[in-house]
Amino acid sequence: MSRIVLMDEHVEAAVLGGAVLGGGGGGAMQRGLDLGHLAVRIGHPVLIGSEDCEDEKVLVTCSGVGAPAAKKAFVSPRSYWRTIELLQMHSSSLINGLITNECGGNAIVNGWLQGALLDLPIVDLPCNGRAHPTGVMGSMGLHKKKDFVSVQAFAGGDPEDNTYIEGCVSGSLTETSALVRQAAVQAQGLVGVARNPVPASYAKANGAPGAVSMAIDLGMTMLQAKGQGEEKLVSSVIEYLNGEIVTHGIVQNLSIETSGGFDVGHIEVDGHVLTFWNEYMTLEKKNGERMSTFPDLIMTMDGESGMPVTSAEIQKSQSIYIIAVPKEHLRLGEGMRCIELLSDVERVVHKNIISYL
């Protein structure tokens, strides 16, 4: 892959494909479009492949942490830039490049604005090729390195509402991630984050190389089908990802609660039940038969437009498609292979996860 100067068409495609790969989470498409278009207007963000990044280069993960459904969630462009400044102040290594933590309608463009402002490349080495609920899941297995000290900078909230907060914490990966999540709560729902400088060699071995390009390619495919009706648009996703349309029906029941910086709940559609913890975790028939389990990709698409709809955006009585893609067809990072991390999912959604993997 050669260097790609990212432009508006890349923003549109990345956000659309990224939203699907978000699997119900990964942030709202409109936020991703706004940030992506801003990035290409104020600078020249560049995407490079993992093969074009030297092993010794230091890469930093950019992310957003919080509950997408929070009513007052707010992160300004300056806040995203501020996270890099704070992290560099507290890091002994010079930052050479930026990577996103995951795919999603917003998450896929994580780092694009910072890259444009600071003239740093975005490397096609996401921590994960789908979205996931916890920071540890998007840290490429660093929690298994006993001597690793996590450094995480965060900024977010609305200064006009006196909810702005920023800071930098260091310590164990689990504890620092929990502190950043709490900062998101204090900021009324969301903070931008820059974290965990690592050599590119580590990201190559433990991340999801090529996942940004995959999102862009999927988005381009969807854009070509967009004017041909919702069924054609949904089918284009299924064909690209080698998945299936599980059902098409009306949302009969919907429960969502924002707690601890997460959106948690369930959705019932046409005899099927989805649980979510930001992202969709399980898909079952009402008789309990399991059909798909995280980190398989479970996603909802609007029944009238065919466009991706996150768990935070679903409305009761809405017509939706439910699609499912086996995890083998995704580009997943080490965090998705760490079975011990999935015990938290079981605790939150009250469903067996590990026994289905």
Structural domains of the chain in order of their starting residue, each with its CATH number: 4-211 (3.40.1610.10), 240-356 (2.40.390)
pLDDT tens figures, 272-315: 999 999 999 999 999 999 999 999 999 999 999 999 999 999 99
Identity of the residue numbered 51: E
CA distance 53 to 45: 15
Say what the pLDDT of residue 227 is: 87
pLDDT tens figures, 81-107: 999 999 999 988 899 999 999 999 999
Say what the pLDDT of residue 260 is: 76
| 107 neighbors 22 (Cβ within 8 angstroms) | yes
CB-facing half-sphere around the CA of 113: CA atoms within 13 A: 29
For the cut 90, the answer to whether the pLDDT of residue 66 exceeds it is: no
Averaged pLDDT for residues 9-30:
97
Taking Cα atoms as reference points, which of 177, 172, 194, 144 lies closest to residue 337?
144
| 132 neighbors 122 (Cβ within 8 angstroms) | no
pLDDT tens figures, 178-231: 999 999 999 998 999 999 999 999 999 999 999 999 999 999 999 999 989 999
pTM for the model: 0.94
Question: Token pair for residue 323?
Answer: 């699609």
Question: What 3-state class would DSSP assign to 245?
Answer: strand
